[in-house]
Structure 1
Amino acid sequence: MNQPFEDLKMYQNFDELADDVLDFAKEILPDQMLYLSAIEAGQQRMLKIANDKADIPMVEGMQIELNQSLCKLIDFETRQPVVLEDIPNAEQLGDWRKGLEEAHVRSYLGIPIVLTSGETFGTLCAINNRVSLYEQKNVQLLQRIVRLFLYYLELERHAWKDALTGLHNRRYLTKQFEEHPGQTGAVFFLDLDGFKQVNDVYGHETGDIVLQEVAQRLRQFVREQDDAIAVRLGGDEFILHFGHADSREGWERLAEQIVTALSEWKTDYRVSTSIGIVMYDGEYRPELQALLQQADAALYAAKSLGKNTYQFYELAKK
């Protein structure tokens, strides 16, 4: 499961607002095929489409490699739109023009949707089976619509994400756990070793940098796992939740990788992590609060062993 795409289900009234965005766009470009897309990890998903054209092979829910999409031309750092009014004669597209002509795509306008954090959400695009003229005033109006859409995205993000690290928060973890009652998996409860000393010696600004770097490393781990999310509970406490089955040996290997990754710092300060692990299955799965308490108990045991290690909570079966 691609977790960022799955996150869209958490957004309140997303479908209605996405429809409104495209309705406004249709008022500006009534003859164009319009779509909203989400982008993550090199994948693009078509969320909503308006003014479908039978000869252009694109449907809602379609997911493609970004490098096969015209949206790959967008520079999401500068947040500038891409305008291609005459694709058959756009020499910069090279051999790609032939494939686009076969798909009956002869013009394209792509507007990036980028959060204030710099994270890419996706695009608002217009394509047509005819050469088109995109007037500057219309492009600017569409950019204003995107800005209004961004205000909504930011509000939703604050509801489910930790403001400092960008990881999910406890509210999100609780909802995800409740919505998958038959799941098998594991909870890793992480607490940083030596973090208090970083704050005391180098200041809280440096402490925030450490937390953001830890979050980035944890984010990389969950990207490599099925049904995994990273959560910041608060302070220097993090949760990794894995919603899939694995052997104890498999969880041990993963825990060792995490311990190693979070103990390597090319800085004057040194931090590491201790981890408490609890496994569960569909036959015996306590409430999330109970699992967190059990993982916390295992974390305490890991700290007692000298830190920079992990321990399992031995779950008693009924």
Structure 2
Amino acid sequence: MMVTFRELEMYKNFDELAEDVIGLAKEVLPDQLFYLSSMSEAQQIILKHSPNDTAIPIAEGLMLNLEDSLCSRIDFKNKQPLVYEDVKDGHALGAFEEKLEAANVRSYLGLPISFINGERFGTLCAVNDEKSQFDTKSITLLQRIVRMFTYYLDLERFAYRDSLTDLYNRHFLTRFFEGNSKAGGAVFFLDLDGFKKVNDLYGHDTGDVVLKEVASKLQRFTAVHPDALAIRLGGDEFLVCFTEPASAAELSEWANRLLDSLSDWEADYPLSASIGIAQYAAGGDCDLKELLQQADQALYQSKKAGKNRYTFYSVQNNAF
């Protein structure tokens, strides 16, 4: 799972450390415009940049299509920098040549930033509107700065991620709701039907594989719902949190989609899922503990009614 920008907002002292990374990079190559970016599968966002005395248009928060960014060419797998001391010097950049010229970029140095597990985070880049020289010593020093920044990212990530599935954990959920519950939304409380039988029949190693696959299914679901978060509460209990209001019809459609996904297994495991749905209104302070209790009550009703179904929480009769 890729780091999200809202996750970065929770990292302790992220802004200060990002500024320090840029500052240290400027000590190494004072004449360059540096920027720190984060990437998703399709986009790149500029998180921080050094003071700009070049003709290159750049701004913090600038979002780029990754296919339009030279950073997409960086070798993240082998953690190798991408170096163009003069982009006009016969590098066969193809369509990038026009884009770089429009952005007044004449030289480029891009260093990959990845988590310890190899997952891509983003880049530290040096650009200039003039030709540059990037010596080996300077590149090595910049790589050391990136490596120290990576250690910080991993420490923060471990605090908010479940170690088995890499989904967000309960700690992240609590922190997120402290400042992001004003708009209203809903939660799906999911519990796997038949998970104990899978553990008994196939062993706990297989059970862990199943939990990881559940996480992958939830990640694919949230990938098409930008306002949704997938969380592992513990065991075979998961939460999908929607941070924008949705109609009952929409929530029902999404719940049915999840139920179909979580009952479809190539290995023919005797598995399905039950869901309890609780909504919270906009404008007020949402009590997360109470919201989870409501969703849990609705989940209980789904189990009681035969499993592999969803139920909405109702104030009138707890759940219906």
**TM-superposed deviation, 1:51:** 4.0
The 10-residue stretch of structure 1 (93-102 or 297-306) with the greater mean CA deviation from structure 2 = 93-102
CA distance in 1, matches of 2:37, 2:284: 39
Residue 107 of structure 2 is matched in structure 1 by: 107
Displacement, 1:269?
2.5
Deviation at 1:316, TM superposition (A): 4.1
Unaligned stretches of 5+ residues in structure 1: none
Deviation at 1:242, TM superposition (A): 0.6
| Separation in structure 1 between the aligned mates of residue 245 and residue 287 of structure 2, nearest angstrom | 18
**Deviating more after overlay: 251-260 vs 276-285:** 276-285
* SS of corresponding position for 1:91: coil
In the alignment, structure 2 segments of 5+ residues that lack a partner are none
CA deviations 1:228-259 (Å, max 9, x no partner) are 11111011100111122222111111100000
Please state if 1:232 is matched with 2:232: yes
> Letter of the aligned partner of 2:233 in structure 1?
L
In structure 1, the partner of 2:116 is: 116
In the alignment, is the contact (CA less than 8 A) between 1:279 and 1:315 conserved in 2?
no
Residues 158 and 3 of structure 1: CA distance in aligned 2, closer, same or farther (over 3 Å): closer
Please state if 1:310 is matched with 2:310: yes
Paired with 1:17 and 1:176, the residues of 2 have a C-alpha distance of: 21
Q: Tell me the SS of whatever aligns to 2:56.
A: coil
* Displacement of 1:31: 1.1
AA aligned opposite 1:31 = D
Q: Where do residues 267-282 of structure 1 align in structure 2 (5 Å cutoff)? A: 267-282=267-282
The alpha carbon displacement at 1:181 in A equals 4.2
1:32 maps to 2:36: no
Q: Secondary structure at the match of 1:131?
A: coil
AA matched with 2:314: E
Indicate whether 1:41 and 2:41 are aligned: yes
Q: Which residue matches 2:133?
A: 133
Q: CA deviation at 1:284?
A: 7.1
Residues 267-287 of structure 1: CA deviation (Å, up to 9, x unaligned) = 143322111111221377751
Task: Write out per-residue CA displacement over residues 198-240 of structure 1, whole angstroms, 9 at most, x where no aligned residue.
Answer: 2222222222221111111111212222421111101110011
Which piece of structure 1 moves more, 98-107 or 214-223? 98-107
Q: 1:51 to 1:279 in 2, by over 3 A?
A: closer
Shift of 1:179: 1.0
Verify the 8 A CA contact 2:70 2:96 in the aligned structure 1: no
Mapped contact 1:76–1:120 kept (Cα < 8 A): yes
Give the distance between the partners of 2:305 and 2:284, measured in 1 at CA.
28
Deviation string for 1:14-73 (max 9, x for gaps)?
111111111211121111111100111311111111141330011122111111111011
